[in-house]
Structure 1
Amino acid sequence: MGAGPRHGQEISLLRDEVHYLQDTIARRWPQTKVLILGDVILDKYVYGHVERISPEAPVPVVRADRSSEQPGGAANVAMNVVAMGARATLVGFTGRDADRELLERQLAAAGVDSALVAVDGTPTTAKLRVLAGQHQVVRLDHESTAERPAPAYEELLQRFEAALASAQVVILSDYAKGVLTKTVCQRAIALARKAGVPVLVDPKTRDFSRYAGATTICPNRGELALATGVHGDVEEELNHGQRYVEQLGLSHLTVTMSEKGICLLWPDRRHHAPAVARQVFDVSGAGDTVIATLALCAASGVPPEQAASLANLAAGIVVAKVGTVPASAGELLSELRARNKDGSDLKAMSLPELAEKVAAWQAAGDKVVFTNGCFDLVHVGHVTLLEQCREFGTRLVVGINSDASVSRLKGPTRPIIGEQQRARLLSALAATDAVVIFDEPTPIDVIKAIRPDVLVKGGDYTEATVVGAPEVRSWGGRVELVPLVEGFSTSDIVRRIGAQAKA
């Protein structure tokens, strides 16, 4: 560990790509379930300091100050998945010991569904690292890499198949600890392909044939060099990698190249996604973050090229932290917003981001105002309403109905303007501080999540008909009604356009 150099270069994404990825993370990932099959590890840490050398042997004596434990290996992949807002089911081997119990408690607390098979006579794989300051003094491994009894593998695959029924993507996380034998890999891949579920593999063996039929294998350069037998010649390594795609029946090969980013390989072409420029503190867990991101993208239909760029952003987040700490959906969304140079884009937020932002504003003494609407064909009446709303506080949050919600409310010909464009237009107004899109018919979930100080609606409402009014009053807020600007409505504008077109 320790501060390192800045790695990578600036990732370039078009505005539409940023909006597409933001929408995918905020709205599709929470509906996604990832099934992880692989080697489960418990990472243990003892932190201390060295004051002297042992009189018994020429080794440092570490005085322990604190200790910690966290899920590692395939379990860390699952932790990354849930941190990104999705659901995860983890299948793997453990022993019948205290480490299993600790691991299961931590996974459950994080929201990971575990379907772990306890095997008698083998320990739960655990790695104990002793650190003095920022330097690792020693690592002690408790593990067995031997194959387990045949009934254990049968139970493993039965649990995998049961979880597969509700999964949208599979990750095979291989740490060479005895779970992903060639037979297990081939049976798992065959089951997933039959179900139409993509499979991503994080390999550990030099024999990639055991992963044949997967959607993609994601080796780093060292793992690719080991598999191909080519060392030091990047071009030749990648040439060999391209041949693997056809030989193994893959969709493509995904090669992670540390500070050089990610290279996607097809038989006849390549795509290079550069890494994000970042001060590197610790690369622990970056590979688990990358494959979790790629898997969620695969489940959501994100093209591999954009998935690779997003995975690089996620990796950039975790290498800037000390220790194995997953990247969150909120951090990814913030990184994506930073890709846009126009500050107005920073106003469009997911609900979790917005709740966090509003809490920070209120803690700083700001009075937060909320209003909502479809805002289809933004006109002077809308602008006047928002300017009046802003006068009731110091921050204005605007909720807008999604395209699907507008259609349900106003019919199949609406909206005229898509949700992302409507959000963009409202974000450009000086009166607004934040914009959030909601799918439901009413904004009640948004109101409960952000707890505004003032709730504002137009004069065509009464306080008794304003959604969220009782809730806002319950926490000491108030409801305000403002008069509408006569002669301006989206329906009137649409009718006038239609009449002029007929004339």
Structure 2
Amino acid sequence: MQRQEASILLGAIAGKRALVVGDVLLDSFVYGEVKRISREAPVPILSENRREMMLGGAGNLVRNLISLGGGASVISVAGNDPQGDAVEALLTDCGTDGCNLIRQPGRSTPTKTRYVSGSQQMFCVDCDPGTAISHDSERAVIEAVSAALASADVIILSDYGRGMLTPDVCRQVISLARAAGKPVCVDPRGADYSRYGGATLIKPNAQELADEVGLPVGTDVETEAALAALKSRLSTTPALVVTRGGKGMSLIENGQVHHHRARPRSVYDVSGAGDTALAALSLGVAAGLPLVDTMALADLAAGTAVGKTGTATVSPEELLDSAIPGAGDVDWRVLGREQAASTVSSWHRDGLKVGFTNGCFDILHPGHLASLRHARSVCDRLVVGLNSDASVTRLKGEGRPVNPAAHRAAMLAALESVDRVVVFEEDTPEELIRAIAPDVLVKGADYKPEDLPGADFIKSRGGEIVIAPLQPGFSTTALVEKMKAHSA
């Protein structure tokens, strides 16, 4: 997908609100190293380093909806146990518009624990309730959905087979949504998709589609036949999308099948990628986007997610990073202050070290390139603060800048060492530094660390100041004077 197209689609889905109804899991990750084999059995011993908990199942879908720029509220069923308490806290903390976690006495909260050595998942342990939710819980779910429908742009049934989405719950939720004029998207599970009949869109993966219709789905022709077979059983469902891993996605709508090819990826961790795809698809449905375009966005989102470890989410900025750049399409890296602060926050959540440097960069020369490369070498992401035209004039005098801010920003954004550019109007970047809160401040050796604007703020947060070596013989002012001399 081209970057410009992705930007338009992301703008269309921003702010759309989803009501997620489904099985929320507590995902635990145990990280460590394998250095030896057990004496008791031929199995590796994992030396644990740390544990992390996050939302899984429908909860991971909620996280992806929010990270893509949408809003999400959730209705689920959990047990009266510590795992249920943890799920409720995580749902509250992740930025949901509303959380209705129905507690059922005697029922356990579904959990999934993954054991990881380095970046390799070794094995996974599931703890499931084992039975469907009670009739009382079914009624509570339906009442909660009825109360929440009005504020949602799309309803999503996220079925992870843990017993919450019973046939009766599915049928009643779809009936309520259709009566209210709300689209319904479904991530199915198990056999007999008739309980999802009437939904706007159903999204199985390739294996689920093959199991449901009893047909192979290896090739495009086989996939088309399988989709047609399923569609014939679900006459009241307008569209089906099947996710096919590295082969992309396929859509059947109005009797036509459309295929979208996935870009090759060198690293794959497919945990939660289906949730990422469904989040993008559902927000696209909520925005009324053509499903062919929405499918392409969903594939871009899923492909970006599989490049991360664990059940990862993706941001609009990361999707734009992954999209194919078009001719002259670099200005998307030039951000406003608030957008830059949000981007840096997302990088921090991913554990990345963010660096910052600034300057006028009026006429780019090798000295600039050397300092920017040095700055990028001490961090994972580099934000460059760029003086506005008025700011440059105040600092450098009349006749400067030679190049306007838009041109200077575009040149910087095109450099491999620069991740984002932010134009600031002030004489110093201190306010910008306080707004985006980077971890590292980098400036050239012609400055003293104690004199740098924003240095005290960086150090107060535990950050560091890095002084980059200067490349002798390069100066924008000298270049300007030389051009003046030649033109005289």
TM-score (norm 1): 0.68
Identify if the C-alpha distance between structure 1 residues 393 and 258 changes in structure 2 by more than 3 Å, giving closer, same or farther: farther
Secondary structure, in 3 states, of the residue corresponding to 1:288? helix
1:40 alignment partner in structure 2: 24
Q: Match for residue 265 of structure 1?
A: 252
Q: Contact 1:245–1:266 at 8 Å: present in 2 too?
A: no
Structure 1 pair 322–304 and aligned structure 2 pair: CA distance change class (3 A): same
Do 1:51 and 1:61's aligned partners in 2 also have CA atoms closer than 8 Å?
A: yes
CA contact (8 A) 1:242 1:266 kept: no
One-letter code aligned to 1:42: L
Match of 2:46 among 62, 87, 100: 62
Residue of structure 1 equivalent to 2:56? 72
The alignment's C-alpha RMSD in Å is 3.6
1:88-487 correspondence runs (5 A): 88-112=72-96, 113-231=98-216, 234=219, 235-245=221-231, 247-248=233-234, 249-336=236-323, 338-346=324-332, 349=335, 352-355=338-341, 363-366=356-359, 391-392=393-394, 430=407, 433=410, 452-454=424-426
Cα pair 1:215 1:250 within 8 Å, conserved = yes
Determine if contact 2:75/2:144 at 8 Å carries over to the other structure.
yes
CA deviation digits over 1:44-80, x for unaligned, max 9? 1212233444444444333222111111000000011
Aligned partners of 1:228 and 1:240 also within 8 Å: yes
Residue pair 2:77, 2:102 contacting (<8 A) in 1 also: yes
Return the match for 1:84 from 48, 68, 73.
68
After superposition, what is the alpha-carbon deviation per residue over 1:343-399, rounded to whole angstroms, capped at 9, x for unaligned? 454356576544468999992133699xxxxxxxxxxxxxxxx866654579xxxxx
Corresponding residue SS for 2:207: helix
CA distance 1:432–1:358, shift in 2 (3 Å): farther
How far 1:86 moved relative to its partner? 1.8
Q: Deviations over 1:318-354 (max 9, x none)?
A: 1111111101122224445x43231454356576544
- One-letter identity of the residue aligned with 1:63: S
Partners in 2 of 1:268 and 1:151 — Cα distance? 40
Distance in 1 between residues matched to 2:213 and 2:39, nearest whole Å: 48
d(CA) in 1 for partners of 2:355 and 2:310? 32
What's the offset of the Cα at 1:204? 1.1
Distance 2:143 2:325 in 1: 44
Inter-partner Cα distance in structure 2 for 1:266 and 1:200? 14
1:70-128: per-residue Cα shift (whole Å, max 9, x none)? 11000000011111122111111111111111122222221123211111111110112
1:21 to 9, 17, 22: 9
For the structure 1 residues 38 and 283, does the alpha-carbon distance in structure 2 shift closer, same or farther, using more than 3 Å as the test? same
Q: What residue identity is the alignment partner of 2:11?
A: D
Gaps of 5+ in 2: 346-352, 363-387, 397-402, 412-421, 436-452, 455-488
How far has the Cα of 1:136 moved from its partner?
A: 3.8
Q: Give 1:430 deviation, angstroms.
A: 2.1
Provide the secondary structure at the position in 2 that maps to 1:339. coil
Q: Deviations over 1:465-485 (max 9, x none)?
A: xxx9xx99xxx99xxxxxxxx
- Give the partner amino acid of 1:363: F
The answer to whether the Cα contact below 8 Å between 2:391 and 2:425 also exists between their aligned partners in 1 is no
Change (3 A) 1:75 1:357: closer
The CA deviation at 1:34 is: 0.8
C-alpha distance in 1 between matches for 2:395 and 2:294: 40
In 1, distance between residues paired with 2:259 and 2:303?
16
CA distance in 1, matches of 2:404, 2:303: 28
For 1:192 and 1:357, locate their aligned partners in 2 and report how far apart those are by CA, in whole Å: 35
Aligned residue pairs total: 385
Structure 1 CA distance for aligned equivalents of residues 173 and 258 of structure 2 = 29
Q: How far apart in 1 are the matches of 2:160 and 2:79?
A: 17
Maintained 8 Å contact 1:45/1:67 = yes
What is the distance in 2 between the residues matched to 1:106 and 1:342? 42
Tell me how far apart the structure 2 counterparts of residues 362 and 130 of structure 1 sit (CA, whole Å): 32
Shift of 1:317: 1.1
Cα 1:391–1:168, aligned 2, differ >3 Å: closer, same or farther? same
Q: State how far apart, in whole Å, the 1-side matches of 2:208 and 2:296 are.
A: 21
SS of 1:171's equivalent in the other structure is strand
TM-score of the superposition, structure 2-length normalised? 0.70
Q: Deviations over 1:210-268 (max 9, x none)?
A: 11000011111111100110125532342231243354211211111111111111253
**Using the alignment, how far apart are the partners of 2:56 and 2:32 within structure 1?**
21
Partner of 2:349: none
The letter of the residue matching 1:35 is L
Cross-structure match for 2:477: none
